[in-house]
Amino acid sequence: MTFAPARSIDGGRSGTWTAGSRRRRGPRIVSPHVEIEPKTRYPQLAPAEQPTSVHEIAERLFPAYSIPEGSVRLAGCSLEDRFFVRVGFEFANRSEEAFFDGDGNHVEPRTVHSLGLTRTKELARPPLEASVEVSRVVEAATRWARRELAIPDPPRRMDIAVIWCKYARGKLRFSIHGGVVDIPFADWTRLLTPPPFVCPHTGIRSYHIAATDDGRVVAAEAIARCEETGTRTLGGDLVTCAATGKRVLPAETVPCPVSNDRIVKRAAIECPHCKMPVHPKQLERGMCGACRALGSVRKNDPRLARLLGEYPALDRWRAWKLYESDSKYWISAARWMSRLMIVLDRDTLQIESMAKAPRFRRGWKTIPPDRYEDEMKR
Ligand SMILES: [Zn+2]
């Protein structure tokens, strides 16, 4: 093999060296942006094994996902050719091979291996070679050799080849029952691995994708069922019933008016006294905790005064007792032959339940809402 004399590859400015024996005489390619000199074209190579089409990208990515009720497709995928430069340095008594990226940075052996830069094939139709850029990489390679290989003199010869690698950029689009989530990806096609689906609601990274009944596309691991309705939703949407421990949708619960615990509607038990649905634990001796805690109040108690302002007809009642929770008032009163029990919203004074009982007998009777006004006047 004969070595060519040192020669610039971009018209004498760069002071770099190339090997005449590897020059190829290709057709002159004319481009307004890229200066190509046929005599200085280097071998144009590509990794022997790298995905080069969108179809291959899809084949590589799609099988990783389990989407029993939906599908995945590519929502845009572009393939870009990016070059590396392989430089064989020949010195007086040794030779070295090194790889550089398009910015002239030395490429570590591990990356060289993973990108397949050592097992290449010649490209039948290479991308346009940007000779000026390649010459800059060769200049950087020369500086690297002087510095890293501790060789004071320029190499006798530099055997240069351009290796084109495919870089892919795009989005995976996951669709289930009309719900859609896109996950972006970007990597060398040889290194491209299926990115995990990142659940937009929980942040869970997964390859199992499902949808909630209300159409949100989520990680299957995030799905939970309401134990009352069977609705598929996110675990985070559910609340725990304080009475049964069931995980249920909030709409299936009511707050216990005494303790404020959320309990499944079906688990709530009506207090025989005030008729409010309460946590079963609240019932003792036939009454909820609020009814047991009723305490006497004077008529000039501001809470009672406010109530009488709103419902003047109540003024006919006596023997007032009151209990207040965070959100409600329990108020009982008595008259000659009957007793009255009312539960009201603390903020609005809206009546939430009413019951009446004979003065000296047990047995509270629920008063329906449409009779509240009449009953108070009796
Ligand atoms: Zn009660």
Ligand 1 geometric centre to CA of 280 (Å): 11
Ligand 1 geometric centre to CA of 246 (Å): 24
Burial class of residue 33 in the structure, from the number of CB atoms within 10 Å of its CB (0-12 exposed, 13-18 middle, 19+ buried): exposed
- Render each residue's pLDDT in the chain as its tens digit; 378 residues: 333 333 333 333 233 333 333 333 333 333 333 333 333 578 999 999 999 999 999 999 999 999 999 999 999 899 999 999 999 988 777 888 999 999 999 999 999 999 999 999 998 888 876 677 888 998 899 889 888 887 666 777 889 999 999 999 999 999 999 899 999 999 999 999 999 999 999 999 999 999 999 999 999 999 999 999 999 999 999 999 999 999 999 999 999 999 999 999 999 999 999 999 999 999 999 899 999 999 999 988 999 999 999 999 889 899 999 999 999 999 999 988 899 999 999 999 999 999 999 987 778 999 999 998 888 776
Ligand 1 geometric centre to CA of 153 (Å): 98
Ligand 1 geometric centre to CA of 273 (Å): 5
CB-based contact 182:205 (threshold 8 Å)? no
Distance between CA atoms of 368 and 298, rounded to whole angstroms?
28
Q: Where are the domains of the chain?
A: 20-53+75-169, 170-223, 225-282, 294-377
Taking alpha carbons only, the member of 219, 41, 28, 48 closest to residue 134 is 41
Ligand 1 geometric centre to CA of 37 (Å): 95
pLDDT of residue 264: 96
Taking phi over 0 as left and psi of -120 to 50 as alpha, with beta for the rest, 363 belongs to left
Ligand 1 geometric centre to CA of 243 (Å): 17
Q: Which amino acid is at 333?
A: A
Q: Please give the C-alpha separations between residue 226 and each of 166, 241, 244, in angstroms, as whole numbers.
A: 48, 11, 13
Ligand 1 geometric centre to CA of 358 (Å): 17
pLDDT of residue 148: 87
CB-based contact 291:282 (threshold 8 Å)? no
Ligand 1 geometric centre to CA of 310 (Å): 23
Burial class of residue 25 in the structure, from the number of CB atoms within 10 Å of its CB (0-12 exposed, 13-18 middle, 19+ buried): exposed
Ligand 1 geometric centre to CA of 45 (Å): 85
Ligand 1 geometric centre to CA of 330 (Å): 8
pLDDT of residue 10: 33
Taking alpha carbons only, the member of 246, 250, 235, 251 closest to residue 201 is 235
Ligand 1 geometric centre to CA of 369 (Å): 17
Give me the DSSP letters along 327-364.
SEEEEEEE-SSEEEEEEEETTT--EEEEEEEETTS---
Ligand 1 geometric centre to CA of 342 (Å): 10
Ligand 1 geometric centre to CA of 336 (Å): 22
Q: What is the CB neighbour count within 10 angstroms for residue 217?
A: 23
Ligand 1 geometric centre to CA of 329 (Å): 11
Specify the 3-state DSSP secondary structure of 62: helix
Ligand 1 geometric centre to CA of 302 (Å): 23
Taking alpha carbons only, the member of 284, 286, 246 closest to residue 262 is 246
Distance between CA atoms of 279 and 302, rounded to whole angstroms?
29
Ligand 1 geometric centre to CA of 295 (Å): 13
Taking phi over 0 as left and psi of -120 to 50 as alpha, with beta for the rest, 12 belongs to left
Please state the pTM of the whole predicted model.
0.68
DSSP symbol at 135: H
Specify the 3-state DSSP secondary structure of 272: coil
Q: What is the CB neighbour count within 10 angstroms for residue 128?
A: 11
Ligand 1 geometric centre to CA of 258 (Å): 8
State the residue for tokens 């089409």.
53
Ligand 1 geometric centre to CA of 23 (Å): 97
Ligand 1 geometric centre to CA of 348 (Å): 20
Ligand 1 geometric centre to CA of 294 (Å): 10
Ligand 1 geometric centre to CA of 287 (Å): 5
Ligand 1 geometric centre to CA of 325 (Å): 12
Q: Report residue 194: phi and psi, to 5°.
A: -60, 120
